[in-house]
Amino acid sequence: MMSQTSAEMNVNINPPGYMEIYIKHVTEKGKKLLNGWERWSLEDVNRTLDVLKEPGHRSAAQYVGQIIFNVLLKAANDPKIPFEAIEKTLFKTLNARVALLDKNPFEDFVVTGEDRGKVCNFLKAFVKHGEDDSRYYGLVYKMLTHQSRKNKTFPLGFQMAECEGFDEVLNKLPQKMQTQLWQESFYYDDDEWDSDDRTCYSLLEGRSVRM
């Protein structure tokens, strides 16, 4: 029979919302940057975001985004960590840039397929903290609507809209905030082929709308 201590340890290994991260295909410089990621704190995240501005960290950037999701959830689960510290780290992440890519770490963690499911699990766990502190609802709203490079990126809400289980996230938000999200739209400039095309999209409906 499993002892009570062992059972508790197993329960806490991967709480709901945490991502299983498998780091591979990184340079030696990237390995050094990610060393000890399992024990990162908010302060470690902030230091790492500053380092990501420097050249040579392309291979590690996608993993940093996943790690930050985990650190944010771990911090939200710790009553000793003030909300303001979590908010500051999240905003710094959204506005950070990975050198040469001109993306933030969340954007470089491509939110498609399996990755979308991982992010959805994080959001379902993170939004529950709004039940005790409504300011967390505001953080979720910011994450879903943020467009870091003006008209050059797709907000997280647009990418997550068709993900199975995302409705559980939306339904946790206050009704007024849900209504606002359904009314949100954003512009996207597609200049991949030297085009001047600008399209306006509905954030959650996954379609272009009349400008």
Residue 14: predicted pLDDT: 57
Task: Look at residue 123 and tell me if it is in a domain.
Answer: no
100 and 141 together in one domain = no
- Of 75, 109, 143, which residue sits at a domain end? 109
Task: Look at residue 195 and tell me if it is in a domain.
Answer: yes
Could you read off the pLDDT of 133-189 as tens digits, one per residue? Answer: 999 999 999 999 998 777 778 899 999 998 999 999 999 999 999 999 999 999 888
d(CA 126, CA 53) in angstroms, rounded, equals 27
d(CA 18, CA 70) in angstroms, rounded, equals 6
- Under-50 pLDDT residues of the chain: 1-13, 193-194
Residue 49: predicted pLDDT: 94
**What is the tally of structural domains in the chain?**
2
Task: Look at residue 4 and tell me if it is in a domain.
Answer: no
149 and 200 together in one domain = yes
140 and 105 together in one domain = no
74 and 146 together in one domain = no
Cα pseudo-dihedral 145, 149, 151, 154, rounded to 10:
-50
d(CA 205, CA 99) in angstroms, rounded, equals 32
Task: Look at residue 3 and tell me if it is in a domain.
Answer: no
Task: Look at residue 13 and tell me if it is in a domain.
Answer: no
24 and 93 together in one domain = yes
- Of 94, 109, 124, which residue sits at a domain end? 109
Residue 188: predicted pLDDT: 87
Burial of 117 (0-12, 13-18, 19+ CB in 10 A): middle
Task: Look at residue 158 and tell me if it is in a domain.
Answer: yes
159 and 105 together in one domain = no
Task: Look at residue 40 and tell me if it is in a domain.
Answer: yes
Residue 110: predicted pLDDT: 63
42 and 74 together in one domain = yes
- Of 109, 141, 164, which residue sits at a domain end? 109
155 and 99 together in one domain = no
- Angle in degrees, 0-180, between the axes of helices 83-94 and 135-145, rounded to the nearest 10: 10
Domain extent at residue 211: 133-211
138 and 105 together in one domain = no
41 and 105 together in one domain = yes
The one-letter code for the residue type at 178 is Q
Task: Look at residue 119 and tell me if it is in a domain.
Answer: no
